[in-house]
Every structure is written in structure tokens, then in C-alpha cells.
């Protein structure tokens, strides 16, 4: 979902979620960011405190998030479109156009209900798709464009993977709860800070990676309210859930990281970060070559919605591109950007530039 509002939650829930992501309940939540002089080895970056799970692959027991079992068959009738005139507007990607024709990126899929009661309210149970732990549960519908929603964290060789289940009518899951494939999380609904008609009830489902462990500090520095901590929507960047579900069906023994390796980059960002990019500290398998060093420009290859797919040190030509600019955008893939453009990058007179949304994304990723 593109619009990412901020959420006010109780202090104990925010603290529990931060501790969960930090991976140690004996430490204070979200320790102040410190410079990182070298990317650590993979064994040193397991920070997320997840319950024991079977050996990889983590998705071997994967189930669909609702009783709907026809998600990967290509039938658009199993989804709820945002615009009935565009049946595919319930899918992932640049499938929607907002005000003034601007691109709107939809971060997940909107799964339609199979059952309704006499009042027309959906009754479909929503459940975890794989083993993991509940990282966050927002029970106040008006505090989020997601409405009532749950975030679950899952073990994977690449690092912690999140799944998100939004617009729920009710929530049964609690933060810190260990879940298995099929564990109930709530009931499908149409809750949101903006009105969703009962007729368009659905569950918005996402799967992806967390951008920055320091995100909560960034949001608090901006004095933005309500405070959603590290599980704010802007800190959760997804992949196409249908692409992953189809891929996992064909490759049940492989990891989420193996799936990411199949995804095309839409653009590359060349930039000199103030410190090592936290994303690659937590997902070191996505970093290529030598580790980061202070003052070294880096290249981040990204999907259209800003999900980093891999990172590396910049070469000489890429370093030269930064002599007169704060950043550079290279290797633009128009096909990967989507049919109605990208909300993060845009063509300019001389090359490509970040949009205002793109600059905000860059700031949160590199904070």
C-alpha cells in the first residue's frame, strides 16, 4: 500500500516491538546509531529474536493467508480492485494512478473474501503463512491507512522477512506470540483511517524486508505522530506476493533470498552514506564484494518501490559521478519501473532524479 500513515500505540507495545527487532530483551530498545566501519560477517548479524524454526527452507510449510486457495491461478476475481474499471488494481506494483495522474505504488495484494454474514461483513479467517513471531499488532483502526493490522517476522537465511495482514475487522494475535503456518491472526474486514466500503472488504497482504533498524529514531527526529516505531509502513518494503508464492510453489526447497536474486533492479542509487547502510548489516548476503569503509561511495540496486536487492562499493566511474552531486541514479530499467512510472525516480533534463518521495525514502534508508 502506498500511503503510509503514522500510528500511535501503547508504550509497552512499541517497546516490545523494538526489542523484538533488536533481538535482545535485556538491552534498551533501538540503541542510538553508531558508525559501522565494516560490514559484519553473516553469523554476527542475527538480531531478530525469533522462536526456533525448522532448518531452511523457512517457507516449506507455507500456506495462503486466507481460505482462498486460488491466488496463483491468474484469476483476477479472487482480488478486490481499488477501481472496478481496472480489475488488476488489486495487484502489486504501479497498478494505480492517484491525483493529477501521478503514479501510486501498491505494496501488496488485496485478497477478496469468500464468506460474508447476513450484514455483508466478511468472515474469512486471516492466518500466518509460515512459522514466525508477531512483531506488531495495531488494534486502533483510525491510526493507520492499514486499519487494524498485524506484522509477522519469519526466519530466512537472508535475514528477517516480514509479512503484513491489513484492514482486519478484529485481531487475535499479540506482539511476541510465536505462530505456525495457519495460526489465526484475525478476521478479514475493511478497517482503515480512510473509508473502505463494506463491498470492497479485503485483506491487504505484503511480504518483504525491513529497511532500517534506526527508522524509529528518524521518525521521532521528524516529530511525526503517531509513533509507529520500526514497524511503520515506510520501513516495510515488499516484493510482489504473487510472484513469490508462484516461485515458492515451484522451488519449495529454496529461500526468500534465492527469490530476491531473480528480481530485476529498476534503478541504481550511487551515494556516499554517513555510515554503513544498516540494511546490509542485517542482510549481509545482499552485499557484494569488500565491506564498507568510512567515506566510501556505495551503489544500491533497487526494485521500483525502493527495496534494495544488492549493494556494493562504487567503481571509479560511479565515484566520479558524485563529484558534483549528492547522489547519482544509474542503470534505469524502464520496464521494471512499471507501466505508469515510478514514485521514487523521474526523468529530468540531465538524467534521472529522485522525486520528493524518493528523497524521503533515501533519507530513511541511509539514516
Q: Does 86 score more than 90 pLDDT?
A: no
Please say if the pLDDT value at position 98 is more than 80. Answer: no
Which triple of cell numbers denotes residue 128? 500466518
Instruction: Give dist(CA 38, CA 106) in Å, integer.
Output: 35
CB-based burial label for 257 (10 Å; 0-12, 13-18, 19+):
middle
In the prediction, which pLDDT does 56 show?
59
- Pair 210, 235: CB distance under 8 Å: yes
- Residues 231, 151: contact at Cβ < 8 Å? yes
Q: Backbone phi, then psi, for 328, in 5-degree steps?
A: -140, 145
Task: Work out the number of other CB atoms within 10 angstroms of the CB of residue 88.
Answer: 14
Architecture of domain 11-69+108-250: Distorted Sandwich (2.70)
CA–CA dist 239, 192 (Å, integer): 22
**What's the pTM value of the predicted model, to 2 decimals?**
0.84
Using DSSP's 3-state secondary structure scheme, residue 86 falls into strand
**What is the dihedral angle through the alpha carbons of 213, 216, 221, 222, rounded to the nearest 10 degrees?**
120
Tell me: pLDDT of 17 over 80: no
- 341 vs 162 pLDDT, higher one: 162
Q: What pLDDT score does 343 carry? A: 84
pLDDT at 183: 98
| End-to-end C-alpha distance for the chain, whole angstroms | 23
**pLDDT tens for each residue of 192-234:** 988 899 999 999 999 999 999 999 898 888 887 777 789 999 9
**Average pLDDT of the segment spanning 285-306:** 94
C-beta separation of 188 from 124 below 8 A: yes
Degrees (nearest 5) of the Cα angle 136, 151, 184? 100
Question: Given this model, what pLDDT does residue 27 score?
Answer: 36
Strands of the sheet with 327-330, listed across from one edge: 308-313, 298-302, 267-271, 327-330
Q: What is the pLDDT of residues 310-352, one digit of tens each?
A: 999 999 999 998 988 999 999 999 999 987 777 899 999 888 9
Percent of the chain clearing pLDDT 70 (strictly above) = 83
pLDDT of residue 140 exceeding 80, the answer is yes
CA-wise closest residue to 173 among 114, 231, 133, 115: 133
The rounded Cα 138 to chain-centroid distance in angstroms is: 16
Residue matched to cell numbers 466478511: 122
Query: Using one digit for the tens of pLDDT, what is the confidence trace for 145-154?
Result: 999 999 999 9
Strand partners, 109: 205
Q: Is residue 117 very low, low, confident or very high in pLDDT (cuts 50, 70, 90)?
A: very high
Q: What are phi and psi of 267, to 5 degrees?
A: -165, 165
State the DSSP code for 158. T
The whole-number average pLDDT for the span 102-116 is 90
Answer positive or negative: Cα dihedral of 79, 82, 87, 91. Answer: negative
* CA–CA distance, 322 with 114 (Å, rounded to integer): 53
Dump pLDDT digits (tens) for 22-71. 443 333 444 443 332 223 333 333 344 555 544 456 798 999 999 999 99
Query: In the chain, which residues fall in CATH 2.70.70?
Result: 11-69+108-250
- In sequence order, the β-bridge partners of residue 296 are none
Surface-to-core class of residue 217, CB atoms within 10 Å of its CB (0-12 exposed, 13-18 middle, 19+ buried)? middle
What is the rounded average pLDDT for all residues in the chain? 84
Helices (H) and strands (E) in the chain, counts: 8, 17
Residue linked to cell 533492479: 265
pLDDT of residue 323: 86
Q: b/e map of 17-43 (b: 16 or more CB within 10 Å)?
A: bbbbbbbeeeeebbeeeeebeebeeee
Amino acid at each position: 500500500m502506498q500511503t503510509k500513515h503514522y500510528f500511535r500505540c501503547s508504550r509497552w507495545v512499541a517497546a516490545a516491538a523494538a526489542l523484538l527487532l533488536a533481538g535482545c530483551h535485556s538491552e534498551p530498545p533501538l540503541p542510538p546509531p553508531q558508525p559501522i566501519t565494516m560490514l559484519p560477517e553473516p553469523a554476527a548479524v542475527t538480531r531478530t529474536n525469533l522462536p526456533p524454526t525448522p532448518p531452511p527452507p523457512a517457507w516449506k510449510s507455507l500456506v495462503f493467508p486466507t481460505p482462498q486457495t486460488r491466488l496463483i491461478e491468474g484469476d483476477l476475481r479472487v482480488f478486490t480492485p481499488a477501481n472496478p474499471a481496472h480489475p488488476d488494481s488489486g495487484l502489486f506494483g504501479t497498478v494505480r494512478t492517484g491525483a493529477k495522474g501521478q503514479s501510486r505504488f501498491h505494496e501488496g495484494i488485496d485478497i477478496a473474501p469468500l464468506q460474508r454474514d447476513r450484514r455483508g461483513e466478511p468472515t474469512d479467517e486471516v492466518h500466518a503463512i509460515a512459522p514466525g513471531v508477531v512483531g506488531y499488532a495495531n488494534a486502533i483502526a483510525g491510526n493507520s491507512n492499514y486499519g487494524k493490522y498485524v506484522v509477522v517476522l519469519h526466519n530466512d537465511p537472508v535475514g528477517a522477512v516480514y509479512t503484513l495482514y491489513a484492514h482486519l475487522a478484529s485481531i487475535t494475535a499479540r506482539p511476541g506470540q510465536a505462530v505456525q503456518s495457519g495460526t489465526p491472526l484475525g478476521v478479514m474486514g475493511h478497517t482503515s483511517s480512510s473509508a473502505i466500503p463494506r463491498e470492497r472488504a479485503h485483506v491487504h497482504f505484503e511480504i518483504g524486508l525491513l529497511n532500517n533498524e534506526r527508522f524509529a529514531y528518524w521518525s521521532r527526529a521528524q516529530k511525526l505522530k503517531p509513533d509507529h516505531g520500526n514497524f511503520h509502513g515506510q520501513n516495510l518494503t515488499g516484493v510482489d506476493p504473487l510472484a513469490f508464492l508462484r516461485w515458492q510453489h515451484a522451488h519449495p526447497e529454496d529461500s526468500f533470498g534465492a527469490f530476491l536474486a531473480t528480481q530485476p533492479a529498476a534503478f541504481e542509487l550511487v551515494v556516499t552514506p554517513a555510515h554503513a547502510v544498516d540494511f546490509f548489516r542485517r542482510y549481509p548476503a545482499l552485499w557484494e564484494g569488500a565491506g564498507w569503509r568510512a567515506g566510501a561511495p556505495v551503489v544500491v540496486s533497487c526494485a521500483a518501490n525502493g527495496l534494495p536487492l544488492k549493494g556494493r562499493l562504487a567503481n571509479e566511474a560511479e565515484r566520479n559521478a558524485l563529484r558534483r552531486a549528492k547522489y547519482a541514479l544509474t542503470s534505469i530499467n524502464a520496464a521494471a519501473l512499471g507501466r505508469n512510472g515510478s514514485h521514487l525516480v523521474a526523468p529530468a533534463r540531465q538524467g534521472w532524479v529522485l522525486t520528493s518521495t524518493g528523497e524521503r525514502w533515501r533519507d530513511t534508508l541511509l539514516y
